[in-house]
Structure 1
Amino acid sequence: MIKCCSNHKTNTSHVTQEKLSLLTGLDERAIRRSIKRLKDAGYLTVQTTIKEDADKGFIRRNTYYIKPASENYFFLNNSFFQKNYPAKIAGFLLMLKAICLNNTDTVQ
């Protein structure tokens, strides 16, 4: 979902964890754990900036830098994320797509 909310030319995203939570249906704690796993695996770099706002106090903003994939990747139509699949069905569909031939919906 971070990739869907990113600038596809620069591979950067300024999406908030709250917005990710709303888009995915996961709580913010699960979002933070997922981001940590992506960082630990080397797929994501996070830069945090803190700005002072007169009304809101200190505002923390994350910028996500997504490592470009050079191989072993697949594309999903964004409509996949707009459907309310149960989590197990969505996971199965993603795993099925992952074993398809590159950029196709064909499994050998």
Structure 2
Amino acid sequence: MSKRTFAVILTLLCSFCIGQALAGGIVLQRTRVIYDASRKEAALPVANKGAETPYLLQSWVDNIDGKSRAPFIITPPLFRLEAGDDSSLRIIKTADNLPENKESL
């Protein structure tokens, strides 16, 4: 086997290993949260897919304009998620100023 072929094979094998090492970390189980107005809260499951590393998660809700306060809060706002564990963030409505006859983003 030539040195060039060996180098290509070694590079491919290393790239697969690096990809697997980077696969761990924090994963949000959903891309969107739909808040049902008839319920008090909505949940967003999160998981730590890492095998060894715990993570400190901080969460918050921003309004799109960045100036006014968002009508929701998230609990817990800061927590530690151990390796291999999962948890849920609770999204709670704090204001009653959303229109009830249409959806809001």
Structure with a larger share of its residues in strand: 2
**Higher relative CO (CA 8 A, sep ≥ 6), structure 1 or 2?**
2
TM-score category by the smaller chain?
0.3 to 0.5
When the two structures are superposed, what TM-score results if normalisation uses the length of structure 1?
A: 0.32
When the two structures are superposed, what TM-score results if normalisation uses the length of structure 2?
A: 0.33
Bigger CA radius of gyration:
2
